[in-house]
Every structure is written in structure tokens, then in C-alpha cells.
Amino acid sequence: MLLIGSHVSFKSNDQLAGSVKEAISYGSNCFMFYTGAPQNTRRCEISYDLTLEARNLLYDNNIDLKNIVIHAPYIINLANNSKKESYEFAIEFLKEEINRASMFGVDKLVLHPGSYVSLDIDTGINNIINALNEILTPNQEVKICLETMAGKGSEIAFDLHHLKRIIDGVKYNDKLMVCLDTCHLNDAGYDMTKFDDFLDEFDNIIGIDKVACVHVNDSKNVLGAKKDRHENLGYGTIGFDALINVIYNKRLENIPKILETPYVSTIEGGKDRSYAPYKFEIESIKNKTFNDNLYNDIRNYYNNID
């Protein structure tokens, strides 16, 4: 079955119930959310009632909790221990994030492995391993899904061998999975237009059974640019057909495909507005037809409903 969805918001007033409603409005059967703002670590208390409401909505809409993904905030950096307090904070925060995920019943937590900043790459990789060895416990249900990164700045995990080294160094590595991001992979130098070759390579190095989810994004930059700027499907350098091949690849069937493509912005009456593209991108994925009028369709649709 095609599992397609997007990143959705999580707001303190309606929490997971709001996220589920947003996902349903896009025609999704899977989705990803941050448990608060992606760029900070302030987190609200999880409401039992709203979580129950969310579970009922999921049930009524045939969405399996197994296909919901949480993304850890991207400021969490396990690779850099030059400031002891921040490194320890990141470790404690991730332990709590694992607890939050299990309170929602979500078992996939996507994590950017980290950036080595002023250290070097081997030290950075070792810091990630040590942190994960402190965080992971043998009986947890939640899997940490290490994301493939673009290699921007000092980011680790732009090379599959980095992920392999991390997995090999971690004691409870059955709790580790991988999240593939097509924009990041392109920017790291992996050609997404030859996706089956990429999957062969991934299978050789890491093992295809480790893929937990896929972030499907086009890229604003060329192969190997080491940039990380997402683009709407078919509007970037990877292209619509290549991304359709990723989404419908038989070897990744039953794995959630999550869009993190950019919002479409406009200025209306002097006000900046931006709209989620996901309803329209998901439609074009389902019909396997590129929408060359995406931006206008989105603006027209959202102008008419508010």
C-alpha cells in the first residue's frame, strides 16, 4: 500500500488531535510532527484527552500509529561535546523525547545525527555513538531513525559509511533505524535518478531492512552541492519522475513517505501568507501526474476557503 503524508504542525492547544486533522485534510495516511517547535526544546505537557481523541481519529480514518513519525528538534547535536552542558542536555532531551514518543504510541523518532563543528569527523562520530549508548535501553519500543544528511557545514551522515559506523558502535543497535531524505541524499552526491543502484549500495552497507521512513523532497541544488534546501516535487533538480520512482519503489513498499517540501508564500493585501503544498502534492503523487500549476492551485484553493 502507498503510504504518503507530510510534515504537519503540533500545537499546544490541540496537540496530536490537531496534527491528525491536518494530515487528514491533505489526504494522508501517514505523517510526521515535531512535539513542539523544531528549532527549540520547549515542550508542553502531553494531554491524555487530546491523545485519546487523536487515537480515535486515527482509528476512524484507518491510519496506523506505526506510520506516524516524530522528528526530534534539529538543534539537538550529539556530535559536539565541546560544551559539556549542551551535550548532556541533548542526551537528556532525547531520553525525554523517547518517553514522549511512547506516550503517543509512536515508535519512530527521526534524528539528525549531528555536526562536529570545531571538532573533527571521527570525534563527532564517536560522540554520537557514546550519546546513543547512554540514551538507548534494551526494552524500549521507540526506534531512533538516523537521517541521511546533505553534508552542509560539518554535518555527519552525508556518507552511508558514517551511519554504518554509528550503528556498529552502538550496543542496542536494534533500536536504530534510518530515515532516507531524497533532497539530502542528492546534495550529498547520491543520484536519486538511479534509485535502485542507491538501494543496492544501501543494502550492501547497512541493510535495506533498516529503512524506517523516507523524506521525499526535491532539491534546489545540484547533485553533490552539500546544501540542503528542499524544493516542491518536480520543481527541483531531482525531478518528478525520479521521485515517483522512489515513492513507488517495490523494495520500500509499506514504508511511510513523508513530504517536507516548502510552503508556498504570497503577499495578500500587504500581508505575507504561506500555504502548505501537501494536499496538492499528495494528489499528484496519487495520480502520478506532475502538476505544472502547483503554486496557482494552492493559492486559489486556500484563498477560497478562508
DSSP code at position 155: B
The number of residues that bind Fe ion (CB under 5 A) is: 3
Give min distance, CB of 247 to Fe ion, in A: 15
Give min distance, CB of 110 to Zn ion, in A: 6
Give dist(CA 43, CA 145) in Å, integer.
21
Q: Which does 228 bind (CB under 5 to 8 A by kind): Fe ion, Zn ion, none?
A: Fe ion
CB 10 within 8 A of CB 262: no
Q: Which is nearer to Fe ion, 57 or 144 (CB)?
A: 144
Q: Which is nearer to Zn ion, 23 or 146 (CB)?
A: 146
Residue of closest CB approach to Zn ion:
147
Binding mask 146-185 for Fe ion (x = CB under 5 A): -----------------------------------x----
Residue bearing cell 490541540 = 14
Give dist(CA 260, CA 90) in Å, integer.
24
Is 279 exposed, middle or buried (CB count within 10 Å of its CB: 0-12, 13-18, 19+)?
Answer: middle
Q: Which is nearer to Fe ion, 153 or 171 (CB)?
A: 153
Q: What is the DSSP code string of 238-267?
A: S-HHHHHHHHT-GGGTTS-EEE-PPPEEEE
Alpha helices per DSSP H over the chain: 15-25, 48-60, 84-104, 121-135, 160-169, 182-188, 195-205, 240-247, 278-286, 294-305
Q: Which of 215, 232, 234, 280 binds Fe ion (CB under 5 A)?
A: 215
Q: Which of 107, 218, 228, 281 binds Fe ion (CB under 5 A)?
A: 228
Q: Which does 107 bind (CB under 5 to 8 A by kind): Fe ion, Zn ion, none?
A: none
Q: Is 97 in the site for Fe ion (CB under 5 A)?
A: no
Q: Which is nearer to Zn ion, 147 or 281 (CB)?
A: 147
Instruction: Using DSSP, state whether 202 is helix, strand or coil.
Output: helix
Q: Which does 53 bind (CB under 5 to 8 A by kind): Zn ion, Fe ion, none?
A: none
Give min distance, CB of 226 to Zn ion, in A: 16
Q: Which is nearer to Zn ion, 57 or 109 (CB)?
A: 109
Give min distance, CB of 156 to Zn ion, in A: 13
Give min distance, CB of 38 to Zn ion, in A: 9
The radius of gyration of the chain's CA atoms, rounded to the nearest angstrom, is: 19
Instruction: Using DSSP, state whether 271 is helix, strand or coil.
Output: strand
How many CA within 13 A on the CB side of residue 98? 20
Which chain residues interact with Fe ion by CB under 5 A? 181, 215, 228
